[in-house]
Amino acid sequence: MLITDFLSRNALSKGMDVAITEISPKASGGSTVSLREPDDTGSYPDSAARREMTWEYFDRQANRVANFCLSRGIGHGNKAAMLMMNSLEWFPIYFGILRSGATVVPISFRYTKEEVSGCLELTGTDAIFFGPEFSGIIEDIHGKIPALATYVFVGQGIPENADFALNYRQSVGDFPSEDPGVDIATEDDAAIYFTSGTTGKPKAILQTHASLVSVCLTEQRNHSQTEDDVFLCMAPLFHTGSMMHWLGSLISCGGAVLLREPKPESILNVASREGVTIAFMLVPWAQDLLQALESGNLLLSDYELGQWRLMHIGAQPVPVELISRWRKYFPDQQYDTNYGLSEAMGPGCVHLGVDNSHKIGAIGKPGEGWQARIVDDDGNPLPQGKIGELIVKGPSVMKCYYKDEESTSLALKGGWLFTGDMGYVDEDGFIFLVDRKKDIIISGGENIFPIQIEDHIRQLSQVLDVAVIGACHKRLGEVPIAIVSLKPDCECDEEEIMAHCEELPRYKRPRRCIFGDVPRNPTGKIEKPRLRAMYKDALSN
């Protein structure tokens, strides 16, 4: 089966059940708009505070998108991009592109015009579905991308820079709602995702339909999802770390809530009102929510959260201190860490598991069908406790970096994916990460792992976030520098940070502390290339 087949199955068995509910806290209207087939085929306002879509409507809208794509000659061998904010519309467009046989290309909504253009040119994209927030970018690039001939606006009306619109009254919405019946094999190309670019320019990752199905199964198994679960989805859908977690709801036929613009109060409000049982969090959201609880700005007693059984977190190293604080407020909640990367189709190739809370700090063990090793620079396995590079092998490892043979050959060797993450295995077989290979600071011949310093500085109660990067040093090569972001209304000076770091070995102690924002990308990872550029002058002194 393909993931599009699971959608068809859900439409047949649970057609009138709500598949996805979108919550927009900032929306002006307080109404609920419900989309149901077959009696509702009209458009609906995108300004409603709460919109919901049934499985049957979802399935039919995906078919309309597929039939539209085919009418434009977009099918096997073609590519269709998505440049959209999180919304209900995302899902039927994504599945409709897959049903046409074309390859879907999700693009980050944070990319600049130049980055969007680069993604479209690299992939040879034939069509793009874009939201109103990106009309300016589309206007600038319209007609300048050789292969790109079809522009579809997702919203009300058709602007001048679009050829068609998907608003369920015009253009795309007029196409047949029956499955076009395109023959698609599991090994056919399905999606091109882009790396998060935390260590440089994003690369295009080609994945197959088999990879999507594998992730679907992995997510459901890891978290025992059933049709009674309600999954809270908040992370950007253009990234595998969000879309792939939702696939657990697809296979279990469970409901999901898509929360736009997540803030501490809205997260708790939605979890309480919508009966959320599972939530995938990013580190910044968990930090903000805990800060709101610790400051007394929010009170758990104001919310009904007894049904919230699981919080899982990933996309970046998770501070042990953060989870310790979380469990003080949610002692009965299960917790899981999910390790994954876009090259392995997102989460699940390694995970902690809800029964291993005594190992918080580890990313866990290989998931079902996966293998993992810690190896040296020559690819030789290392013994327990020795730090080396994590490599993984499993059912959703990427096909390749698209049109990048050199990077592909460096990352894929003998079926193993070299992750670029450094770690070790403990005596019980649990894997612990220490840092990104490219972020290691080499000072006087010693390897320094920034995460270890960051975790130590986070122990200070005034610290909200911290990043450690390397600064050039004439004698030692590099030395660590800490960029520290403080919690609101908290005070702390460089002297206090340095005094706290006296507990570290001398070579690991930061040589300087700079107070400022710690930028993170949409999936919560620290943007260290950006930090190095921001503090270029400071790092050269």
Task: Look at the alpha carbons of 529, 199, 429, 243 in this order and tell me if their dihedral is positive or negative.
Answer: positive
- Mutual orientation of helices 55-71 and 90-99 as an angle, nearest 10°? 50
Q: What is the radius of gyration, based on Cα positions, of the chain?
A: 23
Using CA atoms of 207, 131, 175, 37 in order, give the dihedral in degrees to the nearest 10: 90
Tell the CATH superfamily of the 440-539 domain. Answer: ANL, C-terminal domain (3.30.300.30)
Return the CATH fold of 221-436.
Rossmann fold (3.40.50)
What is residue 383's predicted lDDT score, i.e. its pLDDT?
94
Tokens for 226?
Answer: 């059933």
Q: Which residues of 32-49 are buried (b: 16+ CB within 10 A; e: fewer)?
A: ebebbbeeebeebebebb
| pLDDT by 10-residue block (mean), the chain, 541 residues | 97 96 74 58 55 95 95 96 95 97 94 89 95 92 90 82 63 86 97 71 90 90 92 90 88 95 93 95 86 93 96 76 90 89 84 86 88 93 93 94 94 93 92 80 77 87 88 77 89 90 87 87 73 70 52
The domain limits of the chain are 3-184, 221-436, 440-539
Q: What are phi and psi of 515, to 5 degrees?
A: -90, 125
Q: What is the DSSP letter of 434?
A: E
Q: Do 104 and 91 form a contact (C-beta atoms < 8 A)? A: no
Report the SS3 class of residue 424: strand
What is residue 36's predicted lDDT score, i.e. its pLDDT?
66
Q: Do 437 and 419 form a contact (C-beta atoms < 8 A)? A: no
Spatial separation of the C-alpha atoms in residues 209 and 175, rounded to whole Å: 25
Q: Do 160 and 68 form a contact (C-beta atoms < 8 A)? A: no
Q: Considering only CA atoms, which of 195, 185, 526, 520 is closest in space to residue 344?
A: 195
Spatial separation of the C-alpha atoms in residues 274 and 238, rounded to whole Å: 24
Q: Do domains 3-184 and 221-436 have the same CATH topology?
A: yes
Tokens for 218?
Answer: 């992995």
Q: Do 351 and 338 form a contact (C-beta atoms < 8 A)? A: yes
The CB density around residue 466, as the number of other CB atoms within 10 Å, is 24
What is residue 533's predicted lDDT score, i.e. its pLDDT?
77
Spatial separation of the C-alpha atoms in residues 91 and 3, rounded to whole Å: 12
Tokens for 67?
Answer: 């039939």
Q: Do 284 and 520 form a contact (C-beta atoms < 8 A)? A: yes
What is residue 47's predicted lDDT score, i.e. its pLDDT?
52
What is residue 438's predicted lDDT score, i.e. its pLDDT?
78
% helix / strand / coil in the chain, to the nearest 5? 30, 30, 40
What is residue 475's predicted lDDT score, i.e. its pLDDT?
65
What is residue 193's predicted lDDT score, i.e. its pLDDT?
95
Q: Quick check: bond before 38 cis, omega within 30?
A: yes
Spatial separation of the C-alpha atoms in residues 501 and 509, rounded to whole Å: 6
Tokens for 97?
Answer: 């592109």
Phi-psi region at 311: left, alpha or beta (left = phi > 0; alpha = psi -120 to 50): beta
What is residue 405's predicted lDDT score, i.e. its pLDDT?
95
Does 3.40.50.12780 match the CATH number of domain 3-184?
yes
What is residue 39's predicted lDDT score, i.e. its pLDDT?
44
Spatial separation of the C-alpha atoms in residues 436 and 317, rounded to whole Å: 10
In this prediction the pTM is 0.84
Q: What is the DSSP letter of 97?
A: H
The CB density around residue 526, as the number of other CB atoms within 10 Å, is 27
What is residue 192's predicted lDDT score, i.e. its pLDDT?
97
Q: Which strand (E) or helix (H) includes residue 83?
A: strand 79-83
Q: Considering only CA atoms, which of 274, 221, 270 is closest in space to residue 248?
A: 221
